[in-house]
């Protein structure tokens, strides 16, 4: 078992930390166009998702890319895992209640985690999966090596793919540069609208 103290203070601390991770990823999505053009390092620190990694792989020197991408993704994964460990099943309820995953998806992943946790962590290296690894009480000695292998593999694959399609990415970047304000406004509206929709669904479910 993972020996993490389950106290109200500890729970609040990890809820706050995981909320900050999710907020950072949301901010990266909302400001994606302007960050891609002006601060690609900040983009992958905030939101090291596959699309962002592929696009920035062609824009940044390798050392900057790997430092930011691995640093951001590993830290976020650790926070997600500890969040799951400390809250247990309440973390699953938290994820489902805030629209991070459906109940069917979390139940399916938890079942897979019990059978082959390292394989699941390497194949699906996201914050929700890391949180569910904590919920499933995957041992730290299993989680950390698998998570690091996963992040290195996915970050590396995205970099090399981005480099391979540099010409296409330059076309995308040129378009974003020309329309950065409009695209940022659209991204803000989409992310904001998505959050409002999730909250409306939560209130509706709570009132049902």
Query: How would residue 204 be classed by pLDDT, with cut points 50, 70 and 90?
Result: low
> Mean pLDDT over residues 163-172, rounded?
92
Domain extent at residue 145: 8-207
Query: What is residue 199's predicted lDDT score, i.e. its pLDDT?
Result: 67
For residue 197, being part of any structural domain is answered with yes
In this predicted structure, the answer to whether residue 98 has a pLDDT above a threshold of 90 is no
For residue 1, being part of any structural domain is answered with no
> Mean pLDDT over residues 99-124, rounded?
90
For the chain, the domain total comes to: 1
For residue 3, being part of any structural domain is answered with no
- 127-135 helix and 140-164 helix, angle to the nearest 10 degrees: 170
Query: How would residue 1 be classed by pLDDT, with cut points 50, 70 and 90?
Result: very low
> Mean pLDDT over residues 96-107, rounded?
84
> Mean pLDDT over residues 171-192, rounded?
91
For residue 183, being part of any structural domain is answered with yes
For residue 112, being part of any structural domain is answered with yes
Q: pTM of the entire structure?
A: 0.86
For residue 2, being part of any structural domain is answered with no
């Amino acid at each position: 078992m993972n020996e993490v103290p389950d106290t109200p203070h500890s729970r609040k601390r990890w809820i706050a930390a995981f909320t900050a991770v999710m907020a950072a990823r949301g901010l990266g999505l909302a400001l994606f166009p302007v960050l891609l053009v002006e601060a690609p390092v900040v983009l992958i620190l905030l939101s090291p998702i596959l699309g962002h990694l592929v696009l920035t792989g062609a824009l940044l020197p390798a050392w900057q890319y790997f430092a930011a991408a691995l640093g951001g993704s590993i830290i976020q994964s650790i926070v997600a895992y500890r969040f799951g460990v400390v809250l247990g099943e309440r973390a699953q309820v938290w994820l489902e209640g805030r629209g991070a995953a459906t109940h069917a998806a979390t139940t399916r992943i938890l079942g897979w985690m019990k059978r082959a946790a390292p394989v699941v962590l390497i194949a699906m290296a996201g914050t929700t999966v890391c949180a569910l690894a904590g919920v499933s009480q995957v041992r730290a000695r299993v989680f950390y090596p698998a998570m690091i292998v996963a992040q290195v593999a996915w970050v590396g694959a995205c970099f090399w793919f981005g480099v391979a399609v540099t010409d296409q990415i330059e076309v995308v970047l040129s378009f974003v540069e020309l329309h950065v304000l409009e695209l940022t406004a659209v991204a803000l509206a989409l992310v904001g609208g998505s959050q409002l929709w999730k909250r409306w669904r939560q209130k509706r479910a709570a009132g049902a």
